[in-house]
């Protein structure tokens, strides 16, 4: 069965498909990471790793979509990358602000 699905594909095509699948696994993995963190905290938690998986998965899927020249897929993935980076920046700024507050309280 695998031969019927892939027998007509070149090695290059199989590598691109593998790249796209890894990107999809990364993108899906972010939900698993978020779910585990929320279960452990017993509340909804969005971790830094969620945003990192989002960036990596979405970047890989975007590259794959560009290779495939699929405008629907490209428009679905590329804008999210900027949103994910922005969320990491917000987290970093929030952490810095919390550190300042802690230093003032203890210092």
Q: Output the pTM of the full model.
A: 0.79
Higher-confidence residue of 13 and 8: namely 13
pLDDT value at residue 57: 95
- Residue 85 and residue 87: Cα distance in Å, rounded? 5
3-state secondary structure of 44: coil
- Residue 9 and residue 28: Cα distance in Å, rounded? 26
| Of the candidates 100, 99, 92, the residue with the CA atom closest to the CA atom of residue 51 | 92
Q: What is the pLDDT of residues 10-57, one digit of tens each?
A: 889 999 999 999 999 999 999 999 999 999 999 999 999 999 999 999
- Residue 56 and residue 37: Cα distance in Å, rounded? 19
Is it the case that residue 3 has pLDDT exceeding 90?
Answer: no
pLDDT value at residue 2: 63
């Amino acid at each position: 069965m695998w031969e019927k699905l892939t027998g007509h594909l070149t090695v290059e095509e199989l590598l691109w498909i593998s790249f796209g699948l890894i990107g999809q696994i990364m993108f899906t993995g972010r939900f698993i990471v978020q779910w585990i963190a929320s279960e452990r905290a017993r509340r909804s938690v969005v971790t830094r790793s969620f945003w990192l998986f989002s960036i990596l998965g979405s970047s890989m899927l975007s590259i794959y979509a560009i290779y495939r020249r699929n405008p629907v897929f490209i428009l679905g993935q590329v804008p999210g990358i900027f949103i994910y980076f922005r969320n990491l920046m917000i987290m970093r700024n929030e952490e810095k602000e919390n550190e300042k507050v802690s230093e003032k309280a203890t210092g």
